[in-house]
Amino acid sequence: MSDKRDDSEKGEIPEIEEEKPILFQFNDELQEFQELQFEEDLELYELLDSDFVLLFVDPKRYRVWVWHGNNVTTRMKFIAAKIAPKIRDEYGISYKITAVDEGDETMAFKIMAGLEEEIDYETIQEGPSYEGTEEDLELLDSLSREKILLLLEKVGLPEGFERKMVIVKNKIFGYKEYERDYMGTSIKEKQLFPLENEIEDGNYLAKGYIPRMLLSFNNVILTELLKEKDGKAKIIQESEIEEKNISNSEKKEKAIR
């Protein structure tokens, strides 16, 4: 039995086969990115050059990295930022575009380029537990949500509906799409966020919502709550309905008397 099937039987999100980053170099004369072919045994950090603007499509982290060498001009950065979404859209519009400057690279970029080693947070450790920094743990959480976003991107949405909530295992997330300005270019971002308010224990009805489940090997991977774009929807606790029904009954009895 495959690992993918084993993961699904445990109720986990199936692992997507890992793909290697795809590299593009910005051509200032043509004002476009051109894909670079390089030997497999060559580390990505060896291709970083202060005179280049490089774009990395990073399927593992669902990111598009735009790396600026120290010697590139502001004009090159601007044009690269403007056309980067076109490259991103070829691989997945849920990928986030992140710009990094030489000497100020993020930890995630360094791991992708081979400058730093990745820590496997999911491995069970012997001895003291890992006390990760807040930045490390936020990165781990971000990657998990991006994996969910990629799955949502693949399944798409029925025409006329919008996604409002996503339930993964025992966690519920809100879902939002918004426009973000990136160096003069408008980019649509998609975000999963935990609900801010604590929800009281009890039974709830999703009035006006349509639940949709993603199944794999007879296991529910995630559940979405969809709403018609022009429709109204509300999460209602059953006890509220019961109280309302009792109140209406009492009013009717008084009216009869």
Per-residue pLDDT reduced to its tens digit, 166-196: 888 777 888 887 777 767 777 777 777 777 6
Q: For 6-10, 137-141, 161-165, 166-170, which range has the lowest pLDDT when averaged over its residues?
A: 137-141
CA distance 54 to 49: 9
Which homologous superfamily is 3-113 in?
Answer: Severin (3.40.20.10)
List CB contacts of 136: < 8 A, sequence separation 6 or more. Answer: 107, 119, 121
> What pLDDT does 24 receive?
96
The pLDDT-based confidence of 122 (bands split at 50, 70, 90) is very low
Q: Give the pLDDT of residue 139.
A: 45
CB 73, CB 61: distance < 8 Å: no
Give the pLDDT of residue 217: 63
* DSSP for 136-194, written as a single string: HHHHHHHHHHHHHHHHHHHH---TTEEEEEEEETTEEEEEEEEEEEETTEEEEEEEEEE
With 70 as the cut, is the pLDDT of residue 25 above it?
yes
Q: Which of 127-136, 177-186, 193-202 has the lowest mean pLDDT?
A: 127-136
- Per mean pLDDT, which range of 96-100, 208-212, 251-255 is the poorest? 251-255
CB 107 within 8 A of CB 139: yes
Q: Domain extents for the chain?
A: 3-113, 138-239
Three-state DSSP class for residue 248: helix
Share above pLDDT 70 across residues of the chain, in percent, rounded to a whole number: 67
Pairing of strands 209-216, 204-207: unpaired
pLDDT of residue 161 exceeding 80: yes
Q: Compare 76 and 17 and report the one with higher pLDDT.
A: 76
137 or 196: which carries more pLDDT confidence? 196
Span between the terminal Cα atoms of the chain, in Å? 70
